Chain A
């Protein structure tokens, strides 16, 4: 058959590589800053745009969507063209994908420090940006599927399956989790409330890790590791099992983020079982990667690309064993809400995603620029700095997590908590926070050295824009010789639909009962919607990212009930959250839980505490919030907030929006009077008044219910 001549597009790969490196450095720098803020609160700079609560989501979004996202696109655009023996279907779509993605990142860099956030983890961006993400993602998928359709290679290699699964699943996750009702141009409320919102969010959050950080990188592993090792993957059969069992099982495991919460028990158990089952495909994949190096281990000593990849695949294996173990309820009881989880995600992030990206870049850049790597020595220095960085990051976080968790749960012989003051447990782990920042700094230093090395490599070579290739056209209509899977591999649309069905089954079975069965969220009659002032306060709480450090979920443990609600002894119930759009359970306790904080302190305590936390609680690492005292509540938005919430089921009376501001002012006046009694003068319009109203409301409904039943 006659061979056809064509060119691979290297320019798009180059653009994504540059974006990967630039945003990688920025994302890591923001992460390091956030890490330092935790032991030197002065690094919050007393500015609202740089407080921990606002830059933490900036860090997570930057490293996940900007660093890893761009690396994923770079890797996919290079490998897909070569595996399918064709140029990308459309250069225009490729460039819309590139510039669209960068614009979304810039929008995130602007809006997150401004406090424009939904507060749902890894889905913080507000609704206009969510729509842009959906559009750009569809462009990426369109370009990819169309490229598959015009391919010259009949069969799709396993890496391509992982790319397809990434595209369809992230699309489904993003759309389902982002449902909301807009209030203003950059403010929306989640369509779901409380327990349901939590379930959808962690179905999303867990699978964002699975299908944004894992499956695309497994695809990259199946391409770049054999390329770098110069030998085929160890077992292609294993890769088939790896793929289908991974995408089939992963989607079910989301509820393991919500163990011991108010989520129905059966859903928690489902999450645990499927998490344990995940060990098999994950380790199958890891072994397949490592065994690809059989007979080439001598080269691992010399080749920095292979070094990075070996550590990456090993980190993947460690993180995917640790994840299922963390989803066992007894382990989770210790680890949840602590720094253990931070260690776990960074073994995955720094080790698996970071190191695989570095390995891929060290392999790609010399090839695209037709030269050799500028300095293997510097790449080795980077490797050791990065490896030490991971160790110095992870080990202190494990120690810190376990230490703090044990301190939270320790009772003395009289049956009282030994460390009744939460702050004692925080102060104890500050040295670990310092070590963690040192680990992060080492890792960042390595990345800076890599940047220099790659720039020098590019300078000494000459970039090949279009790489000539030739291949025979794909003769359509020829029958596959083997079984059904070979047929499937030559039918991309059918393959995509089946992969979609595989991931939907898990999602549907997990969510339908929670959404449809009323008894899953028992109603508590004393739970009422927030007042307009509390609603504003809640939105300030969301804006400042309080949820990044404070949970609102008292788990049913004696130690937690004793610590957070010693008077009434109530752990958190599903029915308490029915008007919470979005839910604010949180995932990390750097500060204490706030679900029962209402009425615990006076209004003036909150006032002083928000103004200067360490003056009220010595050694507190909480940043100060001076701007809350000068900025005014945006009463012009009150009406829209009430209307939006009623639309999604919060029972405000028809027409209440027109008198809501009066109610707001009356409640604000009451708080101002309380403060005046303690010699504090503040305008009734100040944001702090709304925040105090919200904090004082937390946990009050369930107390009111209890009082009512006692009186009866």
Chain B
């Protein structure tokens, strides 16, 4: 039986406003516990919230960038439940009248483009953090994060594979970064995803029972959790079991998920309109001002790279997938006459090394101009392609300029014919067998001798000269 996976995602992104959603405490990450707090964000008796204007604007920006309709009238509601990280015992969120609705985000997986529907985007406040104390006698509560503004982006159940889920989160992350409304640091928790997944036999219309996996905070865990859960559900159904609507915790280290200790019944959040806050009306004028302030978004930037830099779609998509990466590319391309080479270096060596070290583009320790410089050194023939790779690795290690690295380590291409002749003589003398092999018609021996010559000159020999001079010597 063939099964189809149906996935919808809810992404929570912390907005990088200066102050919290309802009070003037800082939203800065970290800090000693309970040092970014006041009576309002710790829910003391008698306090009242006042909405941060920037939160509304950032949410509207996100909505516009994701092709949503912006509600001209929206309100906030109380979501009531008891948990120690929620000081008021209710979270101020938006229930039936969210700020943004009915949008979409385009993704490309394996060259195929698809639009993932956005049901809604709404604003809400984040809760505090629970720390489990070392002696396990209790849990400790830190309210620093309480009141940090969040947008919740809810997708339609349009994703069908773990790759699509990952691509969706990547696209949303890129959009939010381009808008500069969130720092999207998944490892710090400022971007987290919940995956809702169900399976159904191909051809059946009715959706299966879905499970929810919460607070996945890396692309890897989103992918693996989705993949694993789909397999689990299929396995369960094939063996005649039942899928229960439940929340599961994904353990990325162990590579499996388990049902969370059953909360006796589904939460009854008893939503009602927040009486301490008034509705938000976004009129045409305000909306126009926000729209005018939108920067170039990933999709538009990608198209520009295709037309302006002549890059193929695949390359353009990769380069614009992260704002920092795109900025880096443009910095480099601006300082170079060889945009294609720059692009190849980024798509090749830069991406490789980031992947190896598990880093994001933000961690590239040198500016784009340095990459332009490296490409220019190669194009001018100052260094060979092989040496260039060494220089690049050194740039990543030290963050220093390629010109300095080449100079200090004497990596320039050797064009001095006398020096090359000496090197060639040396290897010909030390490899008589290969010489006779070549002279007796074995072309392969030539390659070996070239390799030896390059080795002798520690890769710095001008390869064309080596080739020419070696051939001349051997053909004598």
Pair from one complex: no
A residues lining the B interface (CB < 8 Å): none
B residues lining the A interface (CB < 8 Å): none
